[in-house]
Amino acid sequence: MNRKLTIYIVLLAIVIGIIIFIDASRPKPVNWTPTYDTRDKIPLGLYILDQEAPDFFKGQAVKKFAITPYEYFDGLYDYETKTYKAKGTFLAISEENRIDNESAKELLFFAEHGNTVFLSMKDFPPLLLDTLQIDVTGKYFLKDSIQMSLGRKPAKKYWFNEGIGFTCFDSIEKSGATALGYQDSSDKAQPNFIRVPFGEGQFLLHTQPAAFSNFHLLKSDHYQYAENVLSYFPKGTIYWHSGSRDGENISSSPFRYINSQPGLKWAFRIGLIAIFIFIFFNAKRKQRIIPEVTPLKNTTVDFTKTIGNLYYQEGNHHTIIEKKIIYFLEHIRNEYMIDTYSLDEKFIEKLHLKSGKSFEDIQKSVSLIKKHRHQFQSTEADVIEINKAIEKLRL
């Protein structure tokens, strides 16, 4: 690892450390996510309601479940007697509708058999609204907060701001519903809490789930409003659909813990960014792969063979011998560094000592070379003779 890269890594580690320190030392931001989960202590969770349930529902048993209402109540229905083994009130509080169609049908059946269904949410199951002939609308308010109260002429009104919605009920007369609570809009009070009779039971529909959240149960006297709304429950068991309790809606991501901790989450993200930056700049500094170039083929031998065949076919034996002699002497000069100007006894002695070849073979080759240098007519037998003599020295 070069020095410059080491410096970059150290600087990056220092920057990440500073960011983590700053993030850890600053106040944790308030999480206003409307989970309405009984385990959540955030403002719009239901932890307080869960803890204070014995006081809100005095003398009533509370049974929580996380499976769908259809799965829960279908198991409590006796098909022989055509009655429910469960008697009481179904309770569900959420930001928006989480009830599927089969569960909505089961809740209608549950209410029809003399039970109560309480839903507090900003968006209701369409099947329930169609069956109960209820219309909902969204009224926008000109003020920052709204007044909510119970009854047409309430003894007390409560101002709500955090987590409120704009949903209210419209045209409830045709359903036979009764308005139990109201919220003030810019022009007139609109019902936000109604009772709808159905079969031998009833539906209690409420459009402001934030009234039951941790924030409002701890704010001033807002708990009184929630207490008054829940007082409309008839005596009996409370069947609380607690949403994500027992693992429902829990992320299955292997990074869920990292994402749940702001410090870890940002450290993880910065680490990934740093890795990508390192890969990007490091890849740019690498030399590209040099393509393999096929070397040119040495055709000298082929060319020589071609020329030799040409001379042989033409019957020019003397020229072949002459080329052979020139090539042999060139080889002697390059290989053994011996001067070939004078092919005398001194030359023969040097070649014998350096090459280790037979003195007689060298002497014979030199004799043939001298002979054919001055002879302009040669035969095929001469070519064969001198070639054998030279090749014997080259082996």
More confident residue, 146 or 237: 237
**What is the token pair recorded at 161?**
């701001």
pLDDT tens digits for 262-274?
Answer: 778 888 888 888 8
* Mean pLDDT value across residues 58-66: 93
Least confident among 5-14, 16-25, 309-318: 309-318
pTM of model > 0.85: no
Where do runs of H (alpha helix) occur along the chain?
Answer: 3-25, 47-51, 53-56, 69-74, 101-112, 126-132, 214-217, 222-230, 256-260, 262-285, 300-314, 317-336, 345-355, 359-373, 380-394
**What is the token pair recorded at 118?**
């309480």
pLDDT tens digits for 80-128?
Answer: 888 898 999 999 999 999 999 999 999 999 999 999 999 999 999 999 9
Alpha carbon distance 374, 124 (integer Å): 121
**DSSP string covering 171-235:** --GGGT-EEEEEEE-SSSEEEEEEEEEETTEEEEEES-GGGGSHHHHSSTTHHHHHHHHHTTSPS
The pLDDT value given to residue 291: 82
pLDDT tens digits for 230-263?
Answer: 999 999 999 999 865 444 444 556 676 777 777 7
| pLDDT > 50? residue 74 | yes
The pLDDT value given to residue 246: 43
The pLDDT value given to residue 340: 85
| pLDDT > 90? residue 34 | yes
Tokens 């970059």, located at residue: 8
Q: What are the structural domains of the chain?
A: 47-250 (3.40.50), 314-394 (no CATH)
The pLDDT value given to residue 178: 93
Helix (H, G, I), strand (E, B) or coil at 147: strand
Q: What is the mean pLDDT of the chain?
A: 85
* Mean pLDDT value across residues 342-346: 87
